[in-house]
Structure 1
Amino acid sequence: MVDVGIDPATGKRKQLTRTFDTLKAAKAEYARITNRRHEGTFVSPNKITVNEWLDQWLAKKAEDLEETTIYNYAVTLGRVRGKLGHIRLQELTEDHVETWMTWALREGRVRGGKAGTGLGVTSVEMSLARLKDALNRAVTRRLVAVNVAQEVTIPRKARKAERRTKKVLQPWNVAEVHAFVLAVKDDRLYAPLLLSLMGLRPAEVCGLRWSDIDLNAATLDISNTRTLMGNKTVVEKDTKSMAGERLLPLPALVREALKEFRATQAAEKLAAGEAYSGSGYVIVDELGAALNGRQLRVRAYKIMDENGFRRVRLYDVRASCLTYLANSGVPDHILARWAGHTNVKTTKKWYVKPDVEDLRPAAEAWGGLASLATPFSEKL
């Protein structure tokens, strides 16, 4: 029997009892436990399972993170729970995590595609990252001695195999954006769709209120978002980050479209009478009820399909805007501010995606280099 510390819940001394066949073995274990306790590395035995710890960890994280972020964490860890959740936390091994990762890459999909096929590398990597975070906290809480998932990584072969087979969706180029603008010019949601083309996130477009727009000063105050959680529940909250809260100037085209849309809504309110809800949001239906991101997306897809346009996500249109601004020489600090990012590195890494035509000036510049070259035979 050996003291292993104080129970934080009761304040009483905690003791651990072990039984051995020989006195020598008992003394060795006593010394090992005592030394680890003095070093601060001793972990008291417990029966907490992986699922139970993940529940506790998520509950604690929920005190600091947005509801939508916690939902995404829960979905991400849900991929882990089925295979690893029943295992006791202290019995979880690196082999367990490696085996789960291999299974997930080969046959871990249960939704969003054909069941039984492999999950994408990014999905598995996100699940691993969240599991590592949770296990790191378990180490800090002295629930486990080490993070057994810390060194588990996606094999390079798996990454390369996915790159060979996965089609990379390029954002719309300038010509495609122009064609889309012409196609939606007479659509009721012309103005909200132009806001998407300005590079606003779908949640920012849906969260805009008329009180956020100053048509006289031609400015747009982005401070509120409406996010669709689980494709069903609308969550209204502030912007994704402090940098996301920003005041943008309205391009003349968007300003005029918003003026027309406000006039349209005034006429709809007059026609509907008491049936009009008057929510105050910019993007609403004919009775004033706020529309969500899925409804905006469905309308955009319908327009794309009807006109034979290449289908892209509204979020990818954000990349079209930021790529064009970057190619047009907009300074980095302005580009990051427009995007709502703290650091322009984020903007350039994820949203600036030049296509082959964007690279054409580089080819022309190289042509100047080659034309200056003098053949060696002429020198002789």
Structure 2
Amino acid sequence: MPQIKKVEARGKTRYQFVVDIGVDPVTKKRRQLTVTKDTATEAKTELSRIQYQRATGTFVAPSKMTVEQLVDIWLAMVTPDVEVKTARSYVDAMAYVKVRHGQKPVQQLTEEDVSEMVTWMLTEARRIGGTPGTGLGVRTVDLTLGRLRAVLELGMRRNILSRNVARYVTVPKAYRKADRARKRAKKPWDENEVRAFLTAIRGVREYGGWMLTFIAERPAEVCGARWEEDIDLERGVTTVGNTRTLGYDPEQPLGERSVVVEKDTKSEAGERALPLPLPTWIGLKEFRKTQVAERLAAGEAYECTGYVMVDALGRPWKTDKLRREAYKLMDMAGVRRVTVYMARHAVLSWMANNGVPDVVVSAWAGHADLSFTKRIYVHPDPQSLRAGSEKLNELLG
């Protein structure tokens, strides 16, 4: 039982006790806490509080652990169990926390600190992927906030923190409203733009491969498609079961950290067999013939990788090349630049707005959640809304 003792300091009598407070989470050594109070009553009250909280597991000992140290403990716990790309997103998200508050003792982090970080991210935190010094997107800020909450929850579980100061911090409504307005401005192609693009690229070498994008395959699915395993030209069916995307491996040397990650589809629903529309089927057959001729012409220099999207020497495309080549073709066709992913939105919207049952659209997209497909991917356009106007003529005329 700790004893409260009188101590003399600068001619003043005070009351002090020393209590064991367990193992330091960083050094793994046992620690003792020295508490000094002005009166015996205050010392007794504080000792009773500490003993009660120690007994109930709610005591939080003073700690010099920084925000960065707790973040690193959390990252070491969670990143081994997720994919490389997901792990990298966690590291990137927490980099903003480290830059802004990494050296601050985590017990001194306040709700105001987190709110200030959110404002900084929304207004001036960008360093890459746009104009340096400008604001980041709401999605990036949300991701960082979500991961920070998880970090601070870990601190609470380990009795380093008494509360999660990020729990109720959110992105201000004004920024969310502006973000929704920007997203609405990024409309997928309408029917006329899709037709204009496909007409313009009909003579392009990879036309058949590009047609996979226009049956609503994801960019990683297009790059991962293989002739033998996934494309059945006899039956006119493509099986979506392999993806090929880019990840980031910080363990690799500088300049070699961008790595190809090949894996199954995002979910069980993503594994699907799609009957090829006639133009896609014809385009793929022609592309296959082109590649056979290229292989014969190149001889031993040809790499028989088996992928659909390859260059003239058989080397497979990566998603960043798919994106760059798509923008070149859009410029050539004279259509609006949209992301390759937005072509998927355009196709699914067209299907939904032209009588294809919702459940079929969702299955075609590779989604298990029908409401998700309708909420995220289906965009009513003026052409489809015109049908509603014509139908209302029957009521209003």
Q: TM-score, normalised by structure 2?
A: 0.86
The structure 2 residue matched to 1:59, chosen from 76, 88, 95, is 76
**Is this contact kept in 2: 1:209–1:282, CA < 8 A?**
yes
Deviation at 1:160, TM superposition (A): 3.1
Q: 1:217 aligns with which of 235, 240, 249?
A: 235
Measure how far apart 1:209 and its partner are: 1.3
* In structure 2, C-alpha distance between the alignment counterparts of 1:244 and 1:30, rounded to whole Å: 59
Does the 8 Å contact 1:208/1:283 carry over to 2?
Answer: yes
How much has 1:4 moved relative to structure 2? Answer: 4.1
Aligned: 1:71 with 2:97: no
Equivalent of residue 36 in structure 1, options 53, 63, 88: 53
Deviation at 1:285, TM superposition (A): 0.6
Counterpart of 1:50 (choices 44, 53, 67) is 67
Q: Which has the higher strand share?
A: 2
Tell me if structure 2 keeps the 8 A contact 1:49–1:87. Answer: yes
- In structure 1, C-alpha distance between the alignment counterparts of 2:234 and 2:132, rounded to whole Å: 53
**2:44 aligns to what?**
27
With over 3 angstroms needed to count, the CA separation of the structure-2 counterparts of 1:285 and 1:164, relative to structure 1, is: closer
Change over 3 Å in CA distance of 1:165–1:85 after alignment to 2: same
Question: Could you tell me which residue of structure 2 aligns to residue 107 of structure 1?
Answer: 124
Alignment pair present for 1:251 and 2:269: no
Higher mean alpha-carbon deviation, 158-167 vs 194-203, is at: 158-167
Distance change >3 Å, CA 220–CA 44, structure 1 → 2 = farther
Cα-to-partner distance string for 1:314-342 (whole Å, 9 max, x where unaligned): 00001011111111232333222211112
Distance in 2 (alpha carbons) for counterparts of 1:240 and 1:356: 32
Return closer, same or farther for 1:167/1:335 CA change in 2, 3 Å cut-off. closer
Give how far 1:353 is off: 1.0
**SS in structure 2 of the partner of residue 221 of structure 1:** strand
1:86 Cα deviation after fit: 1.2
Aligned partner of residue 288 in structure 1, secondary structure: coil
* Partner residue, 2:364: 338
Match of 2:10 in 1: none
Among 162, 165, 186, the residue aligned to 2:203: 186
Partner of 2:15: none
Q: Is the 8 A contact 2:246 2:259 kept in 1?
A: yes
The count of residues paired between Structure 1 and Structure 2 equals 371
1:170–1:355: 8 Å Cα contact kept in structure 2?
Answer: no
Output the CA distance in 1 between the equivalents of 2:60 and 2:52. 12
Deviation at 1:30, TM superposition (A): 1.6
Q: TM-score, normalised by structure 1?
A: 0.90
Helix, strand or coil at the partner of 2:383? coil
Shift of 1:162: 4.7
Post-superposition shift, 1:153? 1.0
CA 6–291 in structure 1, closer or farther in 2 if over 3 Å, else same: same
CA shift for structure 1 position 22: 3.3
Q: Hey, what's the Cα distance between the residues in 2 that align with 1:343 and 1:125?
A: 22
Q: Which moved more, 1:8-17 or 1:80-89?
A: 8-17
Letter in 2 for 1:124: V
Going from structure 1 to structure 2, the CA distance change for 1:15 and 1:105 (only over 3 Å counts) comes to same
SS in 1 for 2:261: strand
- What residue in structure 1 maps to residue 14 of structure 2? none
Equivalents in 2 of 1:277, 1:268: separation in Å?
Answer: 11
Give the equivalent residue in structure 2 for 1:271.
Answer: 297
Contact kept in structure 1, 2:331 and 2:337, CA below 8 Å:
yes
Amino acid at match of 2:287: F
Q: Secondary structure at the match of 1:151?
A: coil
Distance 2:359 2:21 in 1: 55
Counterpart check, 1:362 vs 2:392: no
**Alignment gaps of 5+ in structure 2:** 1-17, 249-256
User: Could you say which residue in structure 2 is the equivalent of 1:226?
Assistant: 244
Residue 347 (structure 1) aligned with residue 364 (structure 2): no
Gaps of 5+ in 1: 372-380
* 2:291–2:312 CA contact under 8 A, matched in 1: yes
1:223/1:238 contact within 8 Å kept:
yes
Is the CA contact 2:107–2:161 (under 8 Å) kept in the aligned structure 1? yes
Change in Cα spacing, 1:300 to 1:49, as seen in structure 2 (3 Å) is: same
User: Does the CA-based 8 Å contact 1:109-1:118 persist in structure 2?
Assistant: yes
RMSD: 2.4
Partner of 2:310: 284
Residue 143 in structure 1 maps to residue 160 in structure 2: yes
1:133 and 2:127 equivalent? no
User: Contact 1:6/1:12 (CA < 8 Å) preserved in 2?
Assistant: yes
Query: How many angstroms apart in 1 are the aligned matches of 2:34 and 2:275?
Result: 70
- Cα separation, 1, equivalents of 2:212 and 2:182: 34
Q: Report the secondary structure of 2:37's partner residue.
A: coil
List per-residue Cα deviations over 1:258-295 (Å, max 9, x = no partner).
12111111111111011011111111111111111111
CA distance in 1 between counterparts of 2:352 and 2:113 reads 45
Identity rate, percent: 47
Change (3 A) 1:178 1:86: same
Deviation, 1:303, is: 1.2
Distance in 2 of aligned mates of 1:214 and 1:242? 21
What SS is found at the alignment partner of 1:19? strand
Amino acid at match of 1:314: V
SS of 1:229's partner is strand
